[in-house]
A and B are shown apart, each in its own frame.
Chain A
Amino acid sequence: MIEFRKLTKSYDHKVNVVDQLDMVINDGELVVLIGESGCGKTTTMKMINRLIEPTSGEILVNGENVLAMNPIELRRNIGYVIQKVGLMPHMTVADNIELVAYLKKWDKKKRRQRSSELLDMVGLDPALYLDRYPHELSGGQQQRIGVARALAVNPDIILMDEPFSAVDPITREQLQEELIRLQDEVKKTIVFVTHDMDEALKLGDKIAVMKDGKIIQFDTPENILKNPINEFVEYFVGKDRLWKSPEMLFAQDIMHKRPTGVLADRTPAYALELMREKETEFLVVVDAPSDRPRHMLGVITPRELKGKGTVEKNKMRDLMRTNHPTVTERTNMVDVLSLMKTHHVRNIPVLGEEDGYFKGLITYGSIVNIITDAITEIESDEGKEVSHDQ
C-alpha cells in the first residue's frame, strides 16, 4: 500500500507543483495519474522512489516512511519504467534486464535464469534475444525489455512514466493488452502516469485526474466516465467518451428503474388492462408488490394471454414463460445488445447481481432514449464550441 499524506513539492516556495496531496493506493491496484502537462503527475510519481524529494508531507509504503529509507535501496526495490525506455545501449538485453539484480548482487546463474523467465513473460524468445543489443530491437520490443527490467527483482511496486507514449498506436495497443495480461498474472501495485484518457480508462483500476498539483477526482474509470465531479473532469474525459467505450456502460445505467410487474396471482384480464394502461406488451411476473424487493418468476406477453382472457381460474403463474433471458445490473451494454439480438427479444429484465431481485427492465425504448440524450448533448456542446470561436 502506498499512502500520501499532505504531500507537497515546490521548487520556488511560491507555487506548489504538487499541493497537499492525500491519496491511498492499495496493493495490487493499477492507479493511473492523469492530467495535462505540468499538472504534477510525474512529480508525484517520482517522489515515490525519491528521484524528486518532497518539500513537505509524507509517503508511506506499507506503513513505512519512505523519506526515512536509504534512497538507493528504496529504488532497487521499486520497478521503474520510463517513456524513453532508457535501455543501456552498451549492454545486451540480458544485462539490461539483470541490471537491478546485479546491483543487488544476485549470482550470475540466478540472474540469467530470471532474465530468461522474464523475456518469456513479455513474449520474446530468450534464445533469440538474450544476447542482442537494444539498437537491434524495434521500439515495441525495447519497451517490453523495459517492462521486464522493472520486474527483474520482483518488486511489489512499479512506477511507469508514460511508458507507451513514444511508440506507434498499434504497438501501443499491443503493449497495453500485454500489460493487462501481465498484471493479471503478477498483481503488482502500479502507479502509471499518462496524459492519454483512452489509455487510463483501459488500464486503470482507479484513475486520479490531476490539475495544478491537486487531485480533482480519484475514482474508478466507470465513475470518472459517468459521474465526472466537475466541468474540468468532464472536459478532460470528453463527453462522447462513454459512446466510444460502450463496455463501460452497464445494464443499470440503461434500464427503466421502475418497471411494471404483475403479481403471480393476477388474472389475464387484469394483465391485459395493465398492458393497455402502461402502453407495454411485456410484463414481468413477480412475487411481491412494487414497494418491496421482489423476485422475477417469469414474463407475460400478449402471446401467452391469447384466448385466456375469460378463463378466470388461469393465473399469471400458470401462463407465464420462464425461459426468458435476463441480465444482471453489471452486464455491459455490448453484451445486453448481443443478447437481445440472439434471442430476438425487445425487452430484458435486469436482476440484482448479489440478491437476484428484480431491479429494472431494458427495452428498445430505454436504449433509444439514452442514445438520443447523448447525441443531443454532444451536439449542443459542439454548438457551444462554435460560438466560442466567433
Chain B
Amino acid sequence: MTSNVSFLEFFIGRLPEVLNQTVRHLSITGTAVFIAIMIGVPLGILITRNRQVAKVILSVANVMQTIPSLAFFGLMIPFLGIGRPLAIFVLFLYALLPIIKNTYTGIQGVDDSLTEAGRGMGMTNAQLLTMVELPLALPVMMAGIRIAAVINIGTATIAALIGAQGLGSFIFRGISMGSNNLILTGAVPAAVLALTVDFILGRVEIWLTPKGMRK
C-alpha cells in the first residue's frame, strides 16, 4: 500500500516531465505511422494489380517484422546516427507491414461481383478504386493502421536507448537506478497511451465503415 501511495506522489512530482516525454513519444510514433501510411497505402494498392510483386513485397515486409527491435536499432546506428530520425525510421519500418498487408487484403477482399459490376458499367480503373475498392477496404485498412500505431507505442519505449527520448527514458533510468517507481512512471503512461490510441482509432474505424455496411 505504502509503495502505491509513494508511487502516486512520485508520479505527481514528475508530472511536467512525464507530459513532456509523452508528447515526444507521441510525436515519434505519430510521425513514423504517418509516413508508413503515406508509403504503405499506395504500395498496398499498387501490389493488388500484380500478384507476383505482391508476394515479394509482402515477404520482405514480413522478414523485417521478425528482426528484434533492439537489434534493428543497433544495426541502423551507423547509417542514421543516434536520436530521433533513427527512431522514426525503424518504427516506420515496423508500421509498414500491417498497413501494406491490410490495404492489400482489404482491396482483395472486395467481392468480385462488385468490381465486375463496376467495370461492366463503365468505371475507369481510378473510379473503380476510389468509388468501390477503397471505400469498401477502408475498415480493414484502418484496422491495420490501428495495429501499427499500438505496436509502435510499445516499441518506441526502446527508442529511448538510442537517444530518442520518450517515455522509455524513465524505464531505462529506472532499471539502471533500481527504482521501480521510475520504471512505472514510464510504463504506466505508455500503456495508457496505447489503450487510448487503440480506443480512438477503433472509433475512427467504425466511423469510416460505410453506412450501408455497419451491422
Residues on A close to B: CB < 8 A?
49, 51, 72-77, 80, 82-92, 99-100, 103, 133-135, 149, 159
Name which of A74, A91, A134 has the most chain B CB atoms within 10 A of its CB. Answer: A91
In angstroms, Cα B174 to Cα A197, docked, is 80
Residues of chain A with a CB closer than 8 A to B122's CB? 72-77, 100, 103
The docked-state distance in angstroms from the alpha carbon of A48 to that of B36 is 43
B62 vs chain A, min Cβ distance (A)? 31
Asked whether B213 lies within 8 Å of A86 as measured between CB atoms, the reply is: no
A80 engages B117 (CB within 8 Å): yes
A89 CB contacts on chain B under 8 angstroms: 114, 136, 210, 212-213
User: Given that A75-B122, A99-B121 are known contacts, is A86 also in contact with B114, CB under 8 Å in the complex?
Assistant: yes
Does B203 make an interface contact (CB < 8 A)? no
Report yes or no: A86 in contact with B123, Cβ–Cβ below 8 A. Answer: no
- Docked Cα-Cα span, A198 to B134, in Å, equals 41
When each residue 103-120 of chain B gets 1 if its CB lies under 8 Å from chain A and 0 otherwise, what string results? Answer: 000000001011011111
Number of chain B residues close to chain A: CB under 8 A: 21
Q: CA of A88 to CA of B133 in the docked complex: distance in angstroms?
A: 10
Kindly list chain A residues whose C-beta atoms are within 8 Å of the C-beta of B132.
88
Closest Cβ of chain B to A294, distance in Å, is: 57
- Any A CB within 8 A of the CB of B124: yes
Shortest Cβ distance from residue B170 to the other chain A in the assembled complex, whole angstroms: 45
Contacts of B213 in A (CB 8 A): 89-90, 133, 135
Would you call A75 and B120 a contact (CB within 8 A)? yes
Whether A90 touches B119, Cβ cut-off 8 Å, given contacts A82-B113, A85-B113, is: no
Q: Can you list 10 A-B contacts (CB < 8 A)? A: A49-B120, A51-B120, A83-B113, A86-B111, A86-B118, A88-B117, A88-B118, A89-B213, A90-B135, A90-B136
Check if B120 sits within 8 Å of A90, measured CB to CB.
Answer: no
- Does B127 belong to the interface (CB within 8 Å)? yes
Cβ of B55 under 8 Å from chain A: no
Known: A72-B124, A76-B122, A89-B136. A133 touches B116 (CB 8 A): no
User: Which residues of chain B are within 8 angstroms of A100 by Cβ–Cβ distance?
Assistant: 121-122
* Contact between B136 and A103, CB atoms less than 8 A apart: no
When distances are taken between beta carbons in the complex, the residues of chain A under 8 Å from B211 are 90, 133
Measured CA separation A99–B117 after assembly (Å): 11
Cα–Cα distance between A89 and B113 once the two chains are bound (Å): 11
Contact indicator A75/B119 (Cβ below 8 Å)? yes
Residue of B nearest to A86 (CB): B117
- The residue of chain A having its C-beta at the shortest distance from the C-beta of B135 within the complex is A90
| CB-CB nearest in chain A for B127 | A103
Which among B116, B117, B123, B132 has the greatest number of chain A C-beta atoms within 10 A? B117
Say yes or no: A133-B212 contact (C-beta < 8 A), given A82-B113, A84-B113, A85-B113.
yes
Q: Which residue of A lies closest to B212 (CB)?
A: A133
Given A73-B122, A75-B119, A84-B113, 18 more contacts at CB 8 Å?
A49-B120, A51-B119, A72-B124, A74-B122, A80-B120, A82-B120, A84-B111, A86-B114, A86-B117, A87-B117, A88-B117, A88-B131, A89-B136, A90-B210, A90-B211, A90-B212, A103-B127, A133-B212
Cβ B116 vs Cβ A76 within 8 A: no
Q: Which residues of B contact A83 (CB under 8 A)?
A: 113
Quick one: which of A72, A73, A100 has the most chain B CB within 10 A? A72
- Closest residue of A by beta carbon distance from B132: A88
In the bound complex, residues from chain B placing their C-beta under 8 Å from that of A149 are: 121
Task: Report B-chain residues with C-beta under 8 Å of the C-beta of A85.
Answer: 113, 117
Q: Could you say which residues of chain A place their CB within 8 Å of the CB of B117?
A: 80, 82, 85-88
For A76, give its contact among B113, B121, B212 (CB under 8 Å): B121
Cβ–Cβ < 8 Å partners of B127 in chain A: 103
Residues in A with CB closer than 8 Å to B121 are: 75-76, 80, 99-100, 103, 149
Q: How far is the CB of B125 from chain A (nearest CB, A)?
A: 10
CA gap between A99 and B113 in the complex, in Å? 15
